[in-house]
Amino acid sequence: AQSVTQLGSHVSVSEGALVLLRCNYSSSVPPYLFWYVQYPNQGLQLLLKYTTGATLVKGINGFEAEFKKSETSFHLTKPSAHMSDAAEYFCAVSDRYGGSQGNLIFGKGTKLSVKP
């Protein structure tokens, strides 16, 4: 069965500092990988996704993530944090094939705080 582990339920950075949110997955075959962001009292918004091809994926709002098969990781980074990045971030996986294709399995989430 697939699973996702997000290291750190809370991460705090200063404005302008590097953002690094960690995600490791477990899957018998290479899955599709996603990062979603949830702002307070809102639904989830897709930041970026990895399906095939280039392992470094660029998303919205300056975020990017790198798929590392050998480390089963898909960490999310942003070079310089903005106050508006404060939100909860979820890593997710889904099957490439089969009946469960498309169903997202989420990590527990990481709440990002940005200090002025």
Partner 1 sequence: DSGVTQTPKHLITATGQRVTLRCSPRSGDLSVYWYQQSLDQGLQFLIQYYNGEERAKGNILERFSAQQFPDLHSELNLSSLELGDSALYFCASSVSGNNEQFFGPGTRLTVL
Residues in contact with partner 1 by the rule CB under 8 A: 32, 36, 42-46, 49, 51, 90, 94, 96, 99-109
Of the candidates 10, 5, 15, 16, the one whose C-alpha atom is nearest the C-alpha of residue 75 is 5
* Alpha carbon distance 54, 57 (integer Å): 7
Contact (CB, 8 A) for 105 and 94: yes
Of residues 69 and 97, the one with the C-beta less far from partner 1? 97
| 61: DSSP letter | G
By beta-carbon proximity to partner 1, the closer residue of 38 and 77 is 38
Distance in Å, CB of 6 to partner 1, minimum: 10
Burial of 87 (0-12, 13-18, 19+ CB in 10 A): buried
d(CA 48, CA 57): 7
In angstroms, give the least distance from the CB of 32 to partner 1. 6
Closer Cβ to partner 1, 17 or 104, answer by number = 104
Q: Which one, 22 or 49, has the nearer CB to partner 1?
A: 49
The minimum distance between CB 26 and partner 1, in angstroms, equals 16
Closest approach, Cβ 61 to partner 1, in A, equals 16
